[in-house]
């Protein structure tokens, strides 16, 4: 399985809307720290070559959630500033954007990383594998436009390796599952298939899953601080911010803080159905065999999905998870529609008020 990539813009130039280039300098975001960004030359993505930058005034005022840069973004720069800080004036077109939804019941999103080719979904095998979390993470990756790969880490501490692989494979149908151990180097050579020169890989997973330990191994040095684990295996946060670092072989890797909650995100339309369908390809394939095209997989006659549950080919909890995530995406879409309607009404009120003011002014002139 190979990730497809769109070539990066030519280093140091900004693509115009018509595909030509201008002389505006560009860079790649390698880290973000409380309102400041570290920017590196896109041909040499490493924090040791990075320079600090802040948003231009216009960009800082842009209310669009996709307007502000995140780690992995290619950005246009204005390097000439009296305070020595470069100004980020725009975000170049993205080939992928990894996002999660807000966990507070709103329709907001949080961007995690941009221009990612492959997402390693890191799952620790020293504890019970959580299929439901894997399904969420894989769905987010498919929606982003990147390729998901599940890494089962800490296999040297796994009590039942076969069961762990089976659980992960069942939750990530059609996605490659790679058992690895940094401790004894088991399976690490397989990662070279995706860590090719020019590729960007992000690590996604819970705290204590082994993301920073894996990154340090791939770098061949201690770059990201890792904390010990308590006796019960509970992980402490070992990464406090997202950071892009260059690997010796020419790939780049983004480590992310452990995410306790993962709300789904999708832009709406066919994309969300496609992402969920890719994660639950086994359910989607069975649904094609249902007697009725609009089968809801409840009590309808001739439902191939329910038949598969009845004879054990499809686990009932997997069907329940597919339904739950579908409801979550539908609820997100309803919240977005409500926000859009409210914004439209507010704009109408502002327009009506402005019209009344103009009419009153004209009457006053008369």
79 or 67, greater pLDDT: 67
Binding site: what residues are annotated? 153-156, 205-213, 290, 295, 297, 303
- Characterize 228-240 residue by residue with b for buried, 16 or more Cβ atoms within 10 angstroms of its Cβ, and e for exposed: ebeeeeebeebbe
pLDDT value of position 231: 28
d(CA 11, CA 22): 12
d(CA 104, CA 14): 37
* Domain 14-91 fold: OB fold (Dihydrolipoamide Acetyltransferase, E2P) (2.40.50)
CB 192 within 8 A of CB 106: no
Residue spans of alpha helices (H) in the chain: 57-61, 131-144, 161-171, 211-219, 270-279, 281-287, 304-310, 316-365
Residue 354 pLDDT > 90: no
pLDDT value of position 141: 94
Instruction: Of 9-13, 32-36, 194-198, 213-217, give the lowest mean pLDDT range.
Output: 9-13
Read off the pTM. Answer: 0.77
Binding site for Zn(2+): what residues are annotated? 290, 295, 297, 303
The model's pLDDT over 139-198, given as tens digits with 9 standing for 90+, comes to 999 999 999 999 999 999 999 999 999 999 999 989 999 999 999 999 999 999 999 999
Binding site for GTP: what residues are annotated? 153-156, 205-213
d(CA 293, CA 288): 8
CB 61 within 8 A of CB 45: no
pLDDT value of position 11: 39
Domain ranges of the chain: 14-91, 97-255
Give the three-class secondary structure for 243: strand
* Domain at 97-255, CATH homologous superfamily: P-loop containing nucleotide triphosphate hydrolases (3.40.50.300)
CA 292 to chain CA centroid, nearest Å: 35
d(CA 302, CA 287): 10
d(CA 99, CA 113): 7
d(CA 34, CA 122): 26
Strands 109-114 and 177-179: unpaired
């Amino acid at each position: 399985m190979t990730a497809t990539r769109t070539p990066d813009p030519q280093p140091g130039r900004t693509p115009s809307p018509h595909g030509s280039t201008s002389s505006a300098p560009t860079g790649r975001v390698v880290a973000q720290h409380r309102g400041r960004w570290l920017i590196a030359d896109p041909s040499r993505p490493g924090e040791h070559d990075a320079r600090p930058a802040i948003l231009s005034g216009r960009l800082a005022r842009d209310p669009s959630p996709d307007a502000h840069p995140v780690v992995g973004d290619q950005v246009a720069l204005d390097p000439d500033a009296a305070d020595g800080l470069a100004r980020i004036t725009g975000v170049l077109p993205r080939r992928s954007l990894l996002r999660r939804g807000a966990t507070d019941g709103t329709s907001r999103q949080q961007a995690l990383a941009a221009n990612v080719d492959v997402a390693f979904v890191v799952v620790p095998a020293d504890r019970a594998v959580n299929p439901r979390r894997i399904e969420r993470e894989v769905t987010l990756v498919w929606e982003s436009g990147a390729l998901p790969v599940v890494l089962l880490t800490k296999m040297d501490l796994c009590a039942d390796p076969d069961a762990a692989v089976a659980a992960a494979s069942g939750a990530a149908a059609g996605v490659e599952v790679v058992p690895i151990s940094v401790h004894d180097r088991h399976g690490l050579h397989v990662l070279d298939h995706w860590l090719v020169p020019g590729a960007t890989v992000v690590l996604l997973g819970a705290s204590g899953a082994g993301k920073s330990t894996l990154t340090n191994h791939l770098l061949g040095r201690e770059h990201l601080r890792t904390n010990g684990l308590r006796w019960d295996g509970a992980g402490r946060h070992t990464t406090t911010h997202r950071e892009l670092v260059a690997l010796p072989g020419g790939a780049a890797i983004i480590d992310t803080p452990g995410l306790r909650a993962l709300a789904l995100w999708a832009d709406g339309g066919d994309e969300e159905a496609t992402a969920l369908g890719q994660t639950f390809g086994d359910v989607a394939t069975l649904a094609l065999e249902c007697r009725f095209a609009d089968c809801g997989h409840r009590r309808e006659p001739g439902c191939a999905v329910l038949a598969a549950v009845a004879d054990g080919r499809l686990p009932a909890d997997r069907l329940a998870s597919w339904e739950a995530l579908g409801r979550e995406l539908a609820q997100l879409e309803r919240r977005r529609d409500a926000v859009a309607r409210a914004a439209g009404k507010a704009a109408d009120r502002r327009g009506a008020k402005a019209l009344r003011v103009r009419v009153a002014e004209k009457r006053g002139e008369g």
